[in-house]
Amino acid sequence: MIRLLLSFLLLYSGPILLAQAQNPVIYADVPDLSMIRVGNTYYMSSTTMHMSPGLPLMKSTDLVNWQLIGYAYDRLGELDELNLNHGKSTYGRGSWASSLRYHKGTYYVTTFAQTTGKTYIYSTKNIEKGPWKEVSFQPSYHDHSLFFDDDGRVYMIYGGGKLKMIELAADLSGVKPGTTEQVIIENASTPSGTEGGLPAEGSQVFRVNGKYYLFNITWPKGGMRTVVIHRADKLTGPWEGKVGFQDLGVAQGGLIDTPEGKWYAYLFRDFGGVGRIPYLVPVEWKEGWPVLGEHGKVPEKLDLPASKGLIPGIVASDEFSRKKGEAALPLVWQWNHNPEPKLWSLNQRRGYLRLTTNRIDTSFTQARNTLTQRTIGPESSAMTALDASQLKEGDFAGLGLLQKEYGLVGVKINQGKPVLTMVKLKAGKATDIQSIPLTQSTVYLKAECDFRNRKDTALFYYSLDNKTWTPIGEPLKMPYTIPHFMGYRFGLFMYATQQPGGSADFDYFRISDTLTRP
């Protein structure tokens, strides 16, 4: 048999087809990418805005298979909006697009926040282990790009439409004293013909072969999201610009090269309920310009290794059992806004996540300590086992899909009795779609999301024995809404509507990239 195989390989002269990567390279909400390569390893930062911890960092050795390695900060600040206090929130705000750089042995990642009105610079010698040093200052420089020039000076390029530049102090502690902002491009949208559309923003600046290249996104009125590229011999200009890419609305990002000398543009696409998903397009250099795509189009296949899936690098199951020395929560988890540490525990009941209330909340989106993970496409499901025996009158706990138009399945306590309930937001009001009396304290809950062909629909299920699953309620349509500015997330939640002090115990969270409907 071996001899026959060797003979075939010797005689066969055609190409040996290997599994290839395909677009999108990450079918999940990972927007506002910023990417660097250090040696043979790629690092990427992204946006998660109102989530905590924030400013996620990932690494890859092939540009396709990514894993979370940390966050730049645990908490952005202590404002009521960040803490979900006094009816305030920061949905769709928090920290926005970041800029990731490596300079003389130090990693820098920067961001800005409308919520606090500040610009943030985080730095570390070890991007995978930290710790991160934080510097913040006013004002909040919108969609800025951090840039270390060859002469040792440091700049930020920022703005929308009218792009500006400011020089930073050499130690990056803030704006260089005595310096003033400078307009470098009066209207960066001009190459796309934007009139009344989205002005050019999302700046990312690079230096390649002695020239400066500035990437921006714009959205011409009646058109699609478009990449605009400017180039110059000096940062101060003059800059000449052109439309760099216009296909499928895939835009906003920058350039990355491989150790072998290949170039790609990393970009993302608005893709409905799953969120804003990353794409790679190959780049060739012609007459000093980066030319994106294959004949101007996003390729379905890429000459890169195939994806091994997003589990467990981007999302993962969790049995809530911890060995000594392990982190309390894996990096795949983020809280909806800043958590209240005293109100969650993995130690009060071993092998369970316990969520406890200490106040009255009026809605799911105002409840503290909702623990979330991304949904993933083209389809995904999540399930949990809930022990509701310690819920108090008016408490509601369970499994949710978090966005403005949310859906929930869980247990409510009504007149001292547990009731299994599916809730969804209808016309701006949380509405009980179906309720079923329970005669046991433990119930199994499941949510399944179908993002295929932009279907963006979820169904909820329950089981009393973890074997037979029954649909509950009605389908949830999952639109991407600007107020939240984020793809749908699975969430474990617990909140009180009448009296504080109740608690919910979750035995596990299990996520799958397939649908398991009965």
Domain spans in the chain, listed from the N-terminal domain onward: 33-305, 334-512
Quick one: DSSP state of residue 272?
G
Q: How confident is the model at residue 5 (pLDDT cuts 50, 70, 90)?
A: very low
**Averaged pLDDT score across all residues of the chain:** 95
User: What whole-number distance in Å separates Cα of residue 437 and Cα of residue 421?
Assistant: 9
The token duo for 170 is 């050499």
Question: Residue 334: exposed, middle, or buried by beta-carbon count in 10 A (0-12, 13-18, 19+)?
Answer: buried
Residues contacting residue 9 through CB under 8 Å, at least 6 positions apart: none
CA torsion 470-505-54-35 (nearest 10°) is -50
Closest CA to 479 of 370, 405, 385, 389: 405
User: What whole-number distance in Å separates Cα of residue 423 and Cα of residue 445?
Assistant: 13
User: What whole-number distance in Å separates Cα of residue 441 and Cα of residue 228?
Assistant: 57
9 pLDDT more than 80: no
Each residue's pLDDT tens digit, 48-69: 999 999 999 999 999 999 999 9
246 pLDDT more than 70: yes
3 pLDDT more than 60: no
For 219-232, b/e burial (b = at least 16 CB within 10 A) is bbeeeebbbbbbbb
In the chain, the N- to C-terminal Cα span, in Å, equals 43
DSSP annotation string for 83-102: HT-TT---TT-SB---EEEE
Give yes or no for a cis peptide into 330 (omega within 30° of 0).
no
User: What whole-number distance in Å separates Cα of residue 507 and Cα of residue 1?
Assistant: 50
Phi-psi region of 84 (alpha: psi -120 to 50; beta: other; left: phi over 0): left
pTM above 0.75, yes or no: yes
Percent of the chain with pLDDT over 70: 96
The class (CATH top level) of 334-512 is mainly beta
> Which of residues 9 and 180 earns the better pLDDT score?
180
User: What whole-number distance in Å separates Cα of residue 164 and Cα of residue 204?
Assistant: 12
Question: Which residues on neighbouring strands pair with residue 472, listed in sequence order?
Answer: 460
User: What whole-number distance in Å separates Cα of residue 143 and Cα of residue 161?
Assistant: 11
Which pLDDT belongs to residue 8? 45
Closest CA to 99 of 72, 70, 125: 72
Which pLDDT belongs to residue 21? 97
Which pLDDT belongs to residue 517? 54
User: What whole-number distance in Å separates Cα of residue 27 and Cα of residue 64?
Assistant: 11
Q: How confident is the model at residue 196 (pLDDT cuts 50, 70, 90)?
A: low
290 pLDDT more than 50: yes
Q: How confident is the model at residue 415 (pLDDT cuts 50, 70, 90)?
A: very high
User: What whole-number distance in Å separates Cα of residue 174 and Cα of residue 135?
Assistant: 8
Encoded amino acid at 469, one letter: W
31 pLDDT more than 80: yes
Each residue's pLDDT tens digit, 446-483: 999 999 999 999 999 999 999 999 999 999 999 999 99
Mean local confidence (pLDDT), 235-242: 96
Each residue's pLDDT tens digit, 155-171: 999 999 999 999 999 99
User: What whole-number distance in Å separates Cα of residue 193 and Cα of residue 215?
Assistant: 16
Which pLDDT belongs to residue 79? 97
Which pLDDT belongs to residue 39? 97
CATH entry, 33-305, from 2.115.10.20, 1.20.1050.10, 1.10.30.50, 3.40.50.970: 2.115.10.20
> Which of residues 15 and 260 earns the better pLDDT score?
260
489 pLDDT more than 50: yes
The token duo for 351 is 């092998």
Each residue's pLDDT tens digit, 342-351: 999 999 999 9
Each residue's pLDDT tens digit, 300-320: 999 999 999 999 999 999 999
Mean local confidence (pLDDT), 119-148: 97
Which pLDDT belongs to residue 427? 87
User: What whole-number distance in Å separates Cα of residue 478 and Cα of residue 50?
Assistant: 19
